[in-house]
Amino acid sequence: MRNSDSVHHVRGESHFIEDINVPEGTLFGYVFYSPIAHGKIIKIDYSDAFNSKGVKGIISAKDIPGENQIGGVIPDENLFAEDSVHFIGHPIALVVAETYLQAHEASKKIKASFKKLPAILDPREAAAKDELIIPPRTFELGNINDSWKECDFIIEGKVDSGGQEHIYLETQGAVAFQTEGGGIKVFSATQAPTAVQRTIARILGFPMNKVEVDVQRLGGAFGGKEDQATAWACMAALAAHKLGTPVKLILNRQDDIRITGKRHPYSSDYKIGLTKDGKIIAYQATFYQNAGACADLSTAILDRTLFHCTNTYFIPNVHATALSCRTNIAPNTAFRGFGGPQGMFVIESAIYKAAQVMGIEPVEIQRKNLLKEGDEFPFGQKTLKCNASRCFDELEVNYPFAKIFQEINEFNSKSTLIKKGAAVIPICFGISFTTSILNQASALIHIYTDGSINISTAAVEMGQGVNAKLKRIAARTFGVAESRIKVESTNTSRVSNTSPTAASKGTDLNGFAVIDACNILYARLQKVAAEELGESDFSTISFNHEKVFRNNVVTGLTFSNLVNKAYSKKVSLTAQAHHSTPDIYFNTKTNKGNPFAYHVYGSAVVQVTLDCLRGIYEFDFVKAVHDFGEILHKTIDLGQAEGGIVQGIGWMTCEELKWNSEGKLLTDALSTYKIPDIHAIPKVMNIHFLENSPNDFGPLHSKAIGEPPFMYGLGVYFALMNAMRAFRPGMEIKFDTPLTPEKVLLMLYNSTTN
Ligand code: MTE
Ligand code: HPA
Ligand code: MOS
């Protein structure tokens, strides 16, 4: 797989935060955090810690010259606790010492006493106590109350989905340097360099121009560094500012798992009404989101749950309410899908349950209700170039579902303890930041006199291959080889006011900005070439394969010659461009609008094999027809699809977070939190590219790929349910992820049901 970083990664030469060369005298930080979930701080005695070997300073709230506030959306989060703590892991101070181990040792000598207060861990309990981050939000379409009487079947139920720890390979971290005049330069592992810059400025009471943030790449992020990389960069910056020395702060794995937020667990209620031929008439849902102790991005994530609450189906009457519930666990945050998967799991569960009650296959309901061209989503947007049925039908042609189910039945009839199950999962994911203003980006391009090209954008490389894609976009636009192009680090002094690289929009937004900036340079170079060739009409000039063409006929000029000529004619070889997504808006009062530039569609069929004695399972295959638009980078997009699917499978099956009754996370290491390993990778993954589906709203007609395939993973839950029901037909169906082997066994052998 040719990600542009592959060679350096394999040789261990790529630079992450840990690899940044720091000068002698650099100090190291360790975060001292709350050991209790909720309470008042009575007294903290730092004296023994301060006198501990190597300690150079202990930084806490009182050292903040600006505002002790890091909340990106709602100002409800301190960098360091002041008089109360709200989760185990709530930062209280930063111990700074000559070595990391000295800082860690010293932190153990801090004596803190608290008055414990009751901790809320359950979102429904938080809602009952009115502990909400924002008032409940409701999306509505049609008339839910009148519609129930049209239904032949009405099914109600409860669905729980667990959280998910990001387990990016590189833990959170930053290095901060003081620069001339008291400014700060920070190398941060963040998806959101401008958010880091803005927040450091707020903490230090600086104008933003005194803070420079640079990001070379992240060792994975998956949403976990969209908001939650900020705190560590602020702490390092504050310490560097206070002590006048460079400060490095990197969380160890266990602290990272304990202190930082995860995918939001949800608990939801649904009511679905259908006609006897499987048409969904009405759908009502209430989502209780476990937000954790502060808002973080929870409100935007809550919105996306509502945006995706009907997945890829047209339902004429919808009433969906979502509550962001404040609890005493670490603030939960963005994670691939951004609340979408949680919403989609509930409708898919409702359909599965309805099918069971009606005695049909879920796929009959899924097929019958797929979105069609011009259908309206509950938020008012109508589908445009809807590929839902195309993907679904093409999948069924390639892999006839009836045949798959038939073969499974034959297998199961001959096998007692090993059972197979399959499920179909269609997806639909809206592309754009749901916070409309974030849909902007810019690019800065330099061409040097030797013809080499340098690109800076707002995009952060985190393994998703955005740099390789931007390189490809620039190379195609200029008609030159990709080897000519280097994508620079993401830097707030080169590219300002960046939106996070998130919402799968990295390539879309920055790619369009790159195209615009390339086109500015292209036009200048066309003019220079026209002059050189004695051609009066510069529009006849084009560049391709590194050569200059006139009226599509090759000339003697090469791209490199031309660049050199431009320089001698004192033509600027630098261009900057800004791009924003046109025509998207959303009214948060009416909850109607056109929030998405477009949707990504796809369908997958998944099959599992379940060992009903041991509760363990294998994934036989995931076969999908996915709408990539006009594919920009085949291997990278395939990698994104496969990686997303495996991450989705992990969320559905093995990744289980457990807290004790005191709010302590018990699964805070890779020995207790099981991530998908090589055995969890489906034995076959066939991802077909939907042909002939150019996207008018993506660069070079491509579509975003980062998040949507995650949702195919949902299919394994229903496939496993089918395998379990083959073993125990009367089994009570539960929607409670993750479906660990332990839970499989409890459900298969529970004696209270038939
Ligand atoms: N792929 C890798 N390898 N590492 C990551 O951290 N993050 C995912 C996805 N794919 C991620 C990834 C998430 S949550 C998003 S939003 C997108 O990549 C962000 O990048 P893009 O907008 O360039 O697709
Ligand atoms: N995805 C990721 N981050 C975001 C979004 C989104 O849709 N909206 C606001 N921040
Ligand atoms: Mo992705 S969850 O939008 O960083």
Residue-wise DSSP of 539-573: GGEEEETTEEEETTEEEEEEHHHHHHHHHHTT---
Which of the listed residues 3, 5, 215, 464 should we mutate to test ligand 1's pocket, taking the one with most ligand atoms within 8 A of CB? 464
pLDDT value for 335: 99
Cα 174 to Cα 607, 652, 661, distances in angstroms: 43, 32, 33
Check pocket membership of 506 for ligand 1, CB cut-off 6 A. Answer: yes
> Cβ-count burial of 585 within 10 angstroms (0-12 exposed, 13-18 middle, 19+ buried)?
exposed
Residue 754 falls within a domain, yes or no?
no
pLDDT exceeds 80 at position 398: yes
478 lies in the same domain as 494:
yes
Residue 343 falls within a domain, yes or no?
yes
57 lies in the same domain as 195:
yes
pLDDT exceeds 70 at position 518: yes
Which of the listed residues 5, 170, 435, 462 should we mutate to test ligand 1's pocket, taking the one with most ligand atoms within 8 A of CB? 462
Residue 144 falls within a domain, yes or no?
no
201 CB-near residues (< 8 Å, 6+ apart): 66, 207, 208, 210, 211
User: Which long-range contacts link 453-456 to residues 24+ away (Cβ below 8 Å)?
Assistant: 453/478, 453/480, 453/484, 453/485, 453/486, 454/485, 454/486, 454/488, 455/485, 455/486, 455/487, 455/488, 455/514, 456/487, 456/488, 456/489, 456/490, 456/491, 456/494, 456/495
Cα 495 to Cα 284, 454, 513, distances in angstroms: 44, 13, 11
Nearest atom in ligand 3 to the alpha carbon of residue 706 is 1
CB 103 within 8 A of CB 30: yes
- What are the pLDDT digits (tens) for 568-607? 999 999 999 999 999 999 999 999 999 999 999 999 999 9
pLDDT exceeds 60 at position 712: yes
Q: What is the CATH number of the domain that holds 56?
A: 3.90.1170.50
341 lies in the same domain as 466:
no
Residue 498 falls within a domain, yes or no?
yes
Ligand 2 atom 1: residue of nearest CA: 503
Tokens 């994934």, located at residue: 619
Tokens 């608290």, located at residue: 114
Write down which residue in 521, 545, 580 finishes a domain.
580
Check pocket membership of 492 for ligand 1, CB cut-off 6 A. Answer: no
pLDDT exceeds 70 at position 128: yes
CA angle 711, 602, 301 (to 5 degrees): 40
Ligand 2 atom 5: residue of nearest CA: 433
Between CA 442 and CA 356 the distance in angstroms is 51
Question: Among 517, 490, 186, 144, which Cα is nearest to 317's?
Answer: 144
Q: What is the mean pLDDT of residues 423-429?
A: 98
Between CA 100 and CA 664 the distance in angstroms is 25
pLDDT value for 754: 45
478 lies in the same domain as 598:
no
Tell me which ligand sits closest to the C-alpha of residue 9. 1
Q: Ligand 1 mean position to 648 CA, how many Å?
A: 13
Cross-strand bridge partners of residue 593: 586
| Identified catalytic residue from 77, 165, 170, 707 | 707
- What are the pLDDT digits (tens) for 685-702? 999 999 999 999 999 999
Check pocket membership of 421 for ligand 1, CB cut-off 6 A. Answer: no
Check pocket membership of 639 for ligand 1, CB cut-off 6 A. Answer: no
Model confidence at 62, in pLDDT bands (50, 70, 90)?
A: very high
Cα 349 to Cα 1, 345, 366, 649, 683, distances in angstroms: 36, 6, 12, 16, 25
Mean pLDDT of the chain: 97
677 lies in the same domain as 717:
yes
Residue 143 falls within a domain, yes or no?
no
Between CA 187 and CA 229 the distance in angstroms is 11
Ligand 1 atom 8: residue of nearest CA: 222
- What are the pLDDT digits (tens) for 252-283? 999 999 999 999 999 999 999 999 999 999 99
Between CA 639 and CA 648 the distance in angstroms is 14
210 lies in the same domain as 91:
yes
Q: Quote the DSSP letter at residue 280.
A: E
Alpha helices, DSSP H, located in 686-749: 715-727, 741-749
Count helices and strands (H / E) in the chain. 19, 29
Nearest atom in ligand 1 to the alpha carbon of residue 466 is 23
Q: Quote the DSSP letter at residue 132.
A: B
pLDDT value for 268: 99
Q: Ligand 1 mean position to 504 CA, how many Å?
A: 6
460 CB-near residues (< 8 Å, 6+ apart): 190, 191, 192, 193, 215, 217, 218, 221, 466, 490, 500, 501, 506
Between CA 161 and CA 342 the distance in angstroms is 7
- What are the pLDDT digits (tens) for 162-212? 999 999 999 999 999 999 999 999 999 999 999 999 999 999 999 999 999
Ligand 1 atom 1: residue of nearest CA: 464
44 CB-near residues (< 8 Å, 6+ apart): 60, 92, 93, 110, 111, 112, 113
- What are the pLDDT digits (tens) for 341-367? 999 999 999 999 999 999 999 999 999
Residue 132 falls within a domain, yes or no?
no
- What are the pLDDT digits (tens) for 207-249? 999 999 999 999 999 999 999 999 999 999 999 999 999 999 9
Check pocket membership of 221 for ligand 1, CB cut-off 6 A. Answer: yes
- What are the pLDDT digits (tens) for 130-164? 999 999 999 999 999 999 999 999 999 999 999 99
113 lies in the same domain as 237:
yes
Residue 741, amino acid: P
Check pocket membership of 632 for ligand 1, CB cut-off 6 A. Answer: no
Range of the domain at 470: 440-580
CB 349 within 8 A of CB 365: no
Check pocket membership of 596 for ligand 2, CB cut-off 6 A. Answer: no
CB 543 within 8 A of CB 549: yes
Kind of pairing between the strands at 153-161 and 27-33: unpaired
For residue 410, indicate whether it is catalytic: no
> Cβ-count burial of 696 within 10 angstroms (0-12 exposed, 13-18 middle, 19+ buried)?
exposed
567 lies in the same domain as 483:
yes
Check pocket membership of 221 for ligand 2, CB cut-off 6 A. Answer: no
Residue 456 falls within a domain, yes or no?
yes
392 lies in the same domain as 425:
yes
Between CA 31 and CA 302 the distance in angstroms is 30
397 lies in the same domain as 494:
no
pLDDT value for 6: 86
pLDDT value for 415: 98
Q: Quote the DSSP letter at residue 63.
A: G
Check pocket membership of 433 for ligand 2, CB cut-off 6 A. Answer: yes
Cross-strand bridge partners of residue 248: 28, 175
Q: Name the token pair of 485.
A: 């192009």
pTM above 0.85, yes or no: yes
Q: Ligand 2 mean position to 166 CA, how many Å?
A: 17
pLDDT value for 514: 98
pLDDT value for 423: 98
Q: Ligand 3 mean position to 498 CA, how many Å?
A: 15
Check pocket membership of 464 for ligand 1, CB cut-off 6 A. Answer: yes
Check pocket membership of 470 for ligand 1, CB cut-off 6 A. Answer: no
pLDDT value for 752: 64
558 lies in the same domain as 470:
yes
Pocket of ligand 3 (CB under 6 A): 191, 223, 226, 334-336, 338, 502-503
Ligand 3 atom 4: residue of nearest CA: 223
Q: Ligand 1 mean position to 642 CA, how many Å?
A: 12
Q: Ligand 1 mean position to 435 CA, how many Å?
A: 18
243 lies in the same domain as 287:
no
CB 720 within 8 A of CB 606: no
Q: Which SS3 state, helix, strand or coil, does residue 733 take? A: coil
Nearest atom in ligand 3 to the alpha carbon of residue 191 is 4
Model confidence at 2, in pLDDT bands (50, 70, 90)?
A: low
Phi-psi category of residue 656: left, alpha or beta, with phi > 0 → left and psi -120 to 50 → alpha: beta
Q: Ligand 3 mean position to 275 CA, how many Å?
A: 37
> Cβ-count burial of 712 within 10 angstroms (0-12 exposed, 13-18 middle, 19+ buried)?
buried
Residue 130 falls within a domain, yes or no?
no
Nearest atom in ligand 1 to the alpha carbon of residue 334 is 14
Q: Ligand 3 mean position to 224 CA, how many Å?
A: 8
Ligand 2 atom 4: residue of nearest CA: 433
Q: What is the CATH number of the domain that holds 730?
A: 3.30.365.10
Domain count, the chain: 3
Between CA 521 and CA 598 the distance in angstroms is 29
Check pocket membership of 507 for ligand 1, CB cut-off 6 A. Answer: yes
Which of the listed residues 166, 226, 508 should we mutate to test ligand 3's pocket, taking the one with most ligand atoms within 8 A of CB? 226
Asked if residue 738 has a cis previous peptide bond (ω within 30° of 0), the answer is yes
Between CA 466 and CA 507 the distance in angstroms is 6
Q: What is the mean pLDDT of residues 275-298?
A: 98
